[in-house]
Amino acid sequence: MNLLDFIFPRTCAGCGSIGAYLCSNCIGKIESFGTQICPVCTKPSIFGVTHPRCSTKLSLDGLHSFVYYKAPVTKALYRLKYKFVKDFATDLVSNIKLTLPNFLESYTLITVPLHKRRENWRGFDHTEELARTISEKLNLIYESGVLKRKKPTKSQVGLSKMARAENVRYAFEVFDKNKVFDKNFLVFDDVWTSGATLKNCGYSLKRAGAKSVWGLTLARSR
């Protein structure tokens, strides 16, 4: 235990016990996904591939999520995002079973970007911290700065499905089209709720010439 851990002991996000950001009991409550869903109609789909009847030229080609969005994951992500515990990202990812379909292992991992104003306020981009850790664990190529957020948006928390879609509409753009054209991307976000954010990122990438775009999230609600 280092000095900082002695002065400010780590407490479990799930139950509050002292010693670790996630205790063994709470780690056992993390539930991995069995069946993935189509990102358009949200009905079950093999590997999370977008159903042929749902697919359009600018839609996501699929969606993959690792765990269910329920305690202790909900509390862990809250602490990472709003309590500014940066090293929580490594602890959280290391305690989650990460698996991807083989055909996605060659895709380049990128993230949903924060607006600079919010990143400066928070001090770091929590989504980027999670993505970097995931890329190391799964040996994925990670690239930052592919997408940028053109405008500040409200938090999606508490918004209706329609309001979520409008909030992030045309919020993203590709920084350099030469880095995107004819390439395959996994766009990472921490949670899939309505999918509005990832769908808009996919739209921007496809318009810029990306060959295939999948959504990837740490968690997804039931």
> Is 43:37 a contact under the CB 8 Å cutoff?
yes
How large is the average pLDDT for residues 2-25? Answer: 78
Average pLDDT, integer, range 148-168: 64
204: tokens are 């921007």
Helix or strand run (H / E) with residue 203: helix 196-207
Distance CA 110, CA 134 (A): 11
22 assigned to some structural domain: no
Asked if residue 5 belongs to a domain, the reply is: no
Spatial separation of the C-alpha atoms in residues 39 and 198, rounded to whole Å: 9
| Within-domain flag for 16 | no
Which H or E element spans position 77? Answer: helix 73-82
Whether residue 17 lies inside any domain: the answer is no
User: What does the H/E/C string look like for 174-188?
Assistant: ECCHHHCCCCEEEEE
| Ranges 66-75, 83-92, 111-120, 199-208: which has the least confidence | 111-120
pLDDT at 3: 45
pLDDT tens per residue, range 170-194: 678 898 999 999 999 999 999 998 8
pLDDT at residue 168 greater than cutoff 70: no
Question: Tens of pLDDT along 27-50?
Answer: 999 999 889 999 999 999 999 999
H/E element holding 65? strand 62-68
144 near 111, Cβ under 8 Å?
yes
State how many domains the chain has: 1
pLDDT of residue 7: 56
The answer to whether residue 206 sits within a structural domain is yes
Q: Is residue 184 part of a domain?
A: yes
Percent above pLDDT 90 for the chain: 59
Residues spanned by the domain of 54: 32-69+99-220
Structure letter (DSSP) for residue 170:
T
Give the domain CATH number at 141.
3.40.50
Amino acid code (one letter) for 53? R
- Report the distance separating Cα 6 and Cα 88, nearest Å: 17
Read off the pTM.
0.87
Q: Identify whether the C-beta of residue 140 lies closer than 8 Å to the C-beta of residue 106.
A: no
Domain-embedded: residue 132: yes
Choose the weakest-confidence range: 82-96, 155-169, 171-185, 186-200.
155-169
- 21 is a domain residue: no
